[in-house]
Amino acid sequence: MRLEAHVRGSIEEALERMGVPAPHEVPVERPQRSEHGDLTSRIAFPLARSVRRSPQELARQLAEQLDGETPFSEVSAVDGFLNFRMAPIPLGEVVRGVIIDGESYGSSDEGAGRPLQIEFVSSNPTGPLTVGHGRQAALGDVLAELLAQRGWHVTREYYMNDEGHQIVMLARSLWARYRQALGDAVPVPEDGYQGDYLAALGEELAQQWGDRYPTWTTEAEGEIRVFAVERMMAVIREDLQAMGVAFDVWTREGDLHRRGLVAETLEALADRGAVYEREGARWLEATAHGLSRDPVLIKSDGTPTYIMVDIAYHMDKFRRGFERVIDVQGADHVDTQRQVKLGLKLLDVPDTFLDYCIHQFVTLKGAEGVQRMSTRAGRFLRLSDLVEELGRDVFRYFMVMRKPSSHLNFDYALAKDTSMENPVYYIQYAHTRVASVLREAQRTGELPASLVEVDLSPLTDEAERALILELDRFPEVLASAAHGYAPHLVCEYLEDLAGLFHPYYSRVRVLGQGAATPARLALLASVGLVLRRGLTVLGLSTPEEM
């Protein structure tokens, strides 16, 4: 049983004995200071008014009621707070629980296997992925894993935008590179893609095609487009693979058009009277629903906008049977998110269907100061280069260690030179130390055949109690990280756990300590297991030695 459940249950029983109606949920928290107990409740504050007693008085009475209860070694009332110190038995049960649950410790069946889709990266196939995409790739991937841990059946999906103006610009830019390779002085269009990654492809086309397309024609565009998109997608897949991110489904914009979904969705919106014509374009009636402006759905040249296609795409997701969809997107999409949500609402999709995880951008700190990356201008840091240089583990960790809503300050030089101060190594090193002791215990014959059976009562050291309390917290951390779309909480947690373990390891000897040894081995095994669980959720490796 989780420690919180002991506290909550005991308080509810005590209130009943006192004839005080319990609130729907009894608040139980982890105090910041250890003097305030292992767990604490401020139940007396909300209840004081209804029973016409002061919080202090009510807390005192509750403490009196609870002080003899078995799960607690001490219950005290301080300034209206009710502070609990847990007895050795429930603490030992935490360790035993971790060992019994094993690789499923901290997971839940809240999602009950219901289908959930998470769409992320979805970068246009116009160039390699950059550090900015890296944040989204790591965020989305970890978020997907977190929701899977909560029992959802998760689909990772990449939306591939292989139509529209940007793709034409890509093809036009590549054609220029192709002509350049043949000796023509054709410049890459000013608003085209300037990056030199297209130059190599241009060379390739020149060799393959010779002088087949001397001028920019519809035919040239058609063929170059297909070639360019396939090549760019291959590059993006490689970049994702380097990060250890794999998608279950790839959806192409072109397919949505071919299946008639865009036209169908537009018609449905028009049937609702939400579409009007002006200046040769077709618009969505959005200001009438509280938005700041009306977006264009169909441009005056007859082609659909990104918003239009995205509404159609999300209608498709809805029909595919997902109960929830989460899109991970950058902060520059906030306006369009509202527009898409409005479109879905008009088409009777429940408001809870689509949710966004919005993240701020990665800023690079260099000698020239902060610089915004731009794929179009060819000014970017390739994701794959960085992953290769830092290692997958370090890169992924750095991308998710901050709250998504905050800017991620990525100091390239520091990240490269982190061997001594890197939290990733700090956490992984804790894991290897556990493994090392267990190996040694195996060698000396001190490792019990079954850690579940071990007597855990010798775990009375304050550092051991602190570690156990931290282990007990892991399920809550996974839950809040999943609910709040906040993978960084897992990072913080692992740093805290490792931060408790290293000092303990340095001070307290495990092997050759008589009755304490099996208990400490069980504790170490459970610490190692939770570290491994956390690292795995983040998609990092769990080395046995370093």
Partner RNA sequence: GCGCCCGUAGCUCAGUUGGACAGAGCAGCGGCCUUCUAAGCCGCAGGCCGGGGGUUCGAAUCCUCCCGGGCGCGCCA
C-beta atoms surrounding 536 within 10 Å: 14
Q: Which stretch binds RNA (CB under 7 A): 74-82, 138-146, 223-231, 239-247?
A: 74-82
Cα separation, 335 vs 286, in Å, equals 11
Does 226 engage in binding with RNA (CB under 7 A)? no
Residues 294-313 interacting with RNA (rule: CB under 7 A): 294-296, 299-301, 303, 305-307
Looking at beta carbons only, is 65 or 480 nearer to RNA? 480
Separation of alpha carbons 529 and 512, rounded Å: 23
Which has the closest alpha carbon to 173: 214, 212, 201, 207?
A: 201
Report the site for RNA in 448-477 (rule: CB under 7 A). Answer: none
Q: Which is nearer to RNA, 383 or 479 (CB)?
A: 479
Binding flag, residue 392, RNA (CB under 7 A): no
Closer by beta carbon to RNA, 181 or else 511: 511
Phi-psi domain of 355 (left: phi exceeds 0; alpha: psi -120 through 50; beta: other) = beta
Minimum distance between the CB of residue 329 and RNA, rounded to whole angstroms? 9
Q: Which residues within the stretch 192-221 sit at the binding site for RNA (CB under 7 A)?
A: none
Residue 30 binding RNA, by CB under 7 A: yes
Question: Residues 40, 42, 47, CA angle at the centre, nearest 5°?
Answer: 145
Does the CA dihedral 85-88-89-93 come out positive or negative? positive
Interface positions, 125-164, toward RNA (CB under 7 A): 161, 164
The residue among 7 and 206 lying less far from RNA, judged by its C-beta, is: 7
Site residues for RNA, 251-290, by CB under 7 A, read 253, 279-281
The DSSP result for 418-456, as a single string, is: -TTT-HHHHHHHHHHHHHHHHHHHHHHT-S-S-GGG---
Question: Which of 12, 115, 495, 541 lies at the binding interface for RNA (CB under 7 A)?
Answer: 495
Measured from the CB atom, the residue of 267 and 440 that comes closer to RNA is 440
Which one of 5, 165, 200, 217 is in contact with RNA (CB under 7 A)?
Answer: 165
Q: What is the CA radius of gyration of the chain?
A: 29
To RNA, the closest distance from the beta carbon of 11 in angstroms equals 13
Q: How far is the CB of 262 from RNA (least distance, A)?
A: 12
| One of 9, 13, 27, 153 touching RNA (CB under 7 A) | 27
* Nearer CB in complex with RNA: 154/342: 342
> Terminal CA-to-CA distance of the chain, rounded, Å?
35
**What CA–CA distance (Å, rounded) separates 179 from 185?**
7
Beta-strand runs (E) in 45-106: 72-78, 81-86
Judged by CB under 7 A, which of 67, 79, 248, 388 binds RNA? 79
Among 149, 166, 173, 384, binds RNA (CB under 7 A): 166
Q: How far is the CB of 521 from RNA (least distance, A)?
A: 9
In angstroms, the CA 369 to CA 351 distance is: 42
Eight-class DSSP state of 382: B
Nearer to RNA, 4 or 141 (CB): 4
Q: Which residues of 45-79 are buried (b: 16+ CB within 10 A; e: fewer)?
A: eebbeebebebeebbbbbbebbeebebbbebbbee
CB count in 10 Å sphere of residue 262: 25
State how far the Cα of 70 lies from the Cα of 60, in Å rounded to an integer.
Answer: 18
State which of positions 312-351 bind RNA (CB under 7 A).
Answer: 330-336
The first and second tokens of residue 235, run together, are 């590059």
Instruction: For residues 246 and 240, give the distance between their C-alpha atoms in angstroms, rounded to a whole number.
Output: 7
Over the window 426 to 445, marking each residue x when it contacts RNA by CB under 7 A and - when it does not, the resulting string is x--x--xx--xx-xx-----
Q: How far is the CB of 530 from RNA (least distance, A)?
A: 17
Q: Phi-psi category of 223—alpha, beta or left, where left has phi over 0 and alpha has psi -120 to 50?
A: alpha
Residue 420 interacting with RNA (CB under 7 A): yes
Inter-residue contact 271 to 264 (CB < 8 Å): no
* Stretch 508-527 residues interacting with RNA (CB under 7 A): 508-511
- Alpha-carbon gap, residue 485 to 474, rounded angstroms: 16
Residue 514: Cβ-neighbour burial (10 angstroms; 0-12, 13-18, 19+): exposed
According to CB under 7 A, which one of 425, 474, 494, 523 is a site residue for RNA? 425
Q: How far is the CB of 375 from RNA (least distance, A)?
A: 11
Q: How far is the CB of 338 from RNA (least distance, A)?
A: 8
Question: Does 542 participate in binding RNA (rule CB under 7 A)?
Answer: no
SS3 assignment, position 288: helix
- Asked if 85 interacts with RNA (CB under 7 A), we say no
| Distance of closest approach, residue 345 Cβ to RNA, in angstroms | 18
377 near RNA (CB under 7 A): no
Nearest distance in Å: CB 112, RNA? 23
Size of the site for RNA (CB under 7 A): 89
Site string for RNA, 168-187 (x = CB under 7 A): --------------------
| Closer residue to RNA in complex, CB, 87/466 | 466
Q: Cβ 441 to RNA, closest distance in Å?
A: 7
Query: Which region among 79-87, 174-182, 193-201, 259-267 touches RNA (by CB under 7 A)?
Result: 79-87
Cβ atoms within 10 Å, residue 452 = 12
Nearer to RNA, 37 or 140 (CB): 37
Contact status, residue 242 vs residue 384, Cβ threshold 8 Å: yes
